[in-house]
Structure 1
Amino acid sequence: MPANVLEINDLTRIFKIGGMVLGKKIVAVDKVDLKLPGDKPQIMSIVGESGSGKTTLAKMILRLLDPSSGNIVLGGVPLSVYGKGKNRKEFFKKVQPIFQNPFTSFSMRKTVDTYLYETAINLEIAANKQEALAVVKEVLRSVGLDLTNIAGKYPNQFSGGELQRISIARALIPKPSLIVADEPVAMIDASLRMNIVNLFRKLKDEYNVNFVYITHDLSTAYYVSDYIATMYRGQLIEFGDAKSILNKPSHPYTELLLDSIPRVGKKWDEGMTLPDWDAADSDGPGCKFAGRCKYSQDACRSSDPYMVNIESEHRVLCIKHNGFQSIHTGR
């Protein structure tokens, strides 16, 4: 059986804010466990509002941040193996990033095709620029662009959508097993977002590449995903097959997120907002979501929930599934 493309085991990241004595610890990622199977290419979306920890998690997968505890395994190999020098280069052959703002991924002083050639040569995909030419043409064609319209141009000569396509082409050059895309459509016009999302679905099979798609845009996440992981205040609170979560959300927070998506044939409450978050709710005992949950009871504020399997590929962190039968969602 193929090794999991990605394994995240008991992963925690703590930030210290302020001085040594009066400073405060912020748990940005709190004991997260995730697995992305390696039997076929998959797209796993990590969803949640700002401050949920999803970007911090992405940065740890990309080795831009070190975990405070826990570990990450790529294709059966611990992330700690990929240090400096050649091992670091091997890491970037396996894992590539796509960032939120494509304009910050390119210097205004260099033409964008220069980045494509340099990536191919630096990662030893091609020995020289002539060999890299064929690689660059192929990846640009895969994202719907032509080198003749790219060559010699600077980032400010492209739209945000075009530049993000070039970022995706660059990520494809080493034919990685995993691409981590952190809010890749957030800076793109709403009318063009689905073009990028559809591109992920196409490239998944064409390049046999897996995606970790970080987003707060639920409409694109539920459209593109094979798996969905919902995060709240650093915790993984629900994970499962996308269809299972879409049809039967089992955590009240996921339920709220789904209800906020406009649907055809259903009147959308434009005034719908999540209840305000209070830091005290997160720092004390019990469920971190209890202060915002319309179903919360005394047990939610006094007992820590634990993750349980609802189905073979659907698990949830909620007290209502931990034997407290009086708590229900009415679904």
Structure 2
Amino acid sequence: MNKGEVLLQGSNVTKVFSYGKKTKAAVNEVDFAFHEGEIISIVGESGSGKTTLAKILMGLLKETNGTIAYRGQARKLRNHADRKKYWKDIQAIFQDPFSSFNLFHKVEKLLLDCISLRGLTLSKEEQFNKMKEACSFVNLKFEELYNKYPFELSGGQMQRLMIARIFMLHPKILIADEPTSMIDACSRSTILDMLLKRSENNMTIIFITHDVGLAYYVSDTIYIMKKGRIVESGEAEEVIINPKHRYTQQLISDVPKIHEAWNLA
């Protein structure tokens, strides 16, 4: 792909957690550069640090060391106003949708907040149509959801609702942490196709996944993460077809038919 401008860039990004007298670097001296319109996958097993990195990128966790720049400027998230401005451009879909919503707000309020965050002034009818359209994109009927609370929905409905919010917000960057984990297999490819179509509008998508096959299928660039470190990165086909690091080779060997499965060998 022809890469656009660098939107999000990190150097020596580290996150250390303390447990009593013990410390652990969940993310350890990570470097990255994510471009406009690029589809990236950060791949690793459970405990590799990829979700912690996603939360740092989102601004939900503060890095212990290192620097992160957004559009060439040092990222500033010192107060709520800074974070709100940042979140206009960067949004996330997390694996556990129930932790991402205020469970005491009805679905209508959750979607109206998207309109508010974008600074749109719409009539009641226009608001309704926006919310209805976003839900229909992910095969949800807004009329059946608007008066319900998140805890009244299934995990799959919640994850679809999170994706509907993305259609309303039009962020520059989307971080998708196992975005289809609670969606049935029949709907998974449909949801992925919807997300990838959004990337045609130059939205950068960062997939956080343990699934090497998915990463190979959707990505322009892959970062392989192990024990908090990026051990290999590059163009998706190069990383998967000619893996250099032993850990990458191991991940691929666990999916022996990856080439045949995606018809890309």
For the criterion TM > 0.5, the same-fold answer is yes
Could you tell me which residue of structure 2 aligns to residue 26 of structure 1? 24
Could you tell me which residue of structure 1 aligns to residue 248 of structure 2? 254
Match of 1:231 among 208, 225, 229: 225
Q: Which has the larger radius of gyration?
A: 1
Number of corresponding residues: 258
Could you tell me which residue of structure 1 aligns to residue 44 of structure 2? 48
Match of 1:152 among 147, 155, 160: 147
Q: Deviations over 1:129-166 (max 9, x none)?
A: 55533432343343344433433234355443332121
Q: CA deviation at 1:184?
A: 1.9
Structure 2: give runs of 5+ residues left out of the alignment: 261-265
Greater RCO, 1 or 2 (C-alpha within 8 Å, sep 6+)? 2
Match of 2:172 among 137, 157, 177: 177
Could you tell me which residue of structure 1 aligns to residue 18 of structure 2? 16
Could you tell me which residue of structure 1 aligns to residue 65 of structure 2? 69
Partners in 1 of 2:95 and 2:124 — Cα distance?
28
Match of 2:236 among 238, 242, 245: 242
1:106 aligns with 2:90: no
Q: Deviations over 1:212-265 (max 9, x none)?
A: 111112222221111110001111001111111121111111111111115279
Q: Deviations over 1:161-182 (max 9, x none)?
A: 3321210111332311001112
Partners in 2 of 1:110 and 1:16 — Cα distance?
34
Please, what TM-score do these two structures have when normalized by structure 2?
Answer: 0.86
Q: Matched residue of 2:215: which SS?
A: helix
| Mapping of residues 313-324 of structure 1, within 5 Å | none
Partners in 1 of 2:249 and 2:54 — Cα distance?
24
1:119–1:173 Cα contact (<8 Å) kept: yes
Partners in 2 of 1:91 and 1:14 — Cα distance?
23
2:98–2:150 Cα contact (<8 Å) kept: yes
Q: Matched residue of 1:239: which SS?
A: strand
Partners in 1 of 2:128 and 2:78 — Cα distance?
30
Match of 2:90 among 84, 87, 95: 95
Please, what TM-score do these two structures have when normalized by structure 1?
Answer: 0.70
Q: CA deviation at 1:33?
A: 0.7
Structure 1: give runs of 5+ residues left out of the alignment: 267-331
Task: Quote the RMSD (CA, aligned, Å).
Answer: 2.5
**Change over 3 Å in CA distance of 1:203–1:254 after alignment to 2:** same
Could you tell me which residue of structure 1 aligns to residue 55 of structure 2? 59
Q: CA deviation at 1:122?
A: 4.1
**Change over 3 Å in CA distance of 1:84–1:135 after alignment to 2:** farther
Could you tell me which residue of structure 1 aligns to residue 263 of structure 2? none
Could you tell me which residue of structure 1 aligns to residue 216 of structure 2? 222
Q: CA deviation at 1:76?
A: 2.0
Of 256-265 and 215-224, more deviation after overlay is shown by 256-265
Partners in 2 of 1:157 and 1:132 — Cα distance?
23
Task: Return the structure number with greater helix share.
Answer: 2
Partners in 1 of 2:51 and 2:252 — Cα distance?
21
Q: CA deviation at 1:92?
A: 1.1
Q: Deviations over 1:170-225 (max 9, x none)?
A: 133231100111222233334443333222212211x4311111111222222111
Q: Which amino acid aligns with 1:124?
A: G
**Change over 3 Å in CA distance of 1:42–1:109 after alignment to 2:** same
Overall identity of the aligned pairs, in % = 37
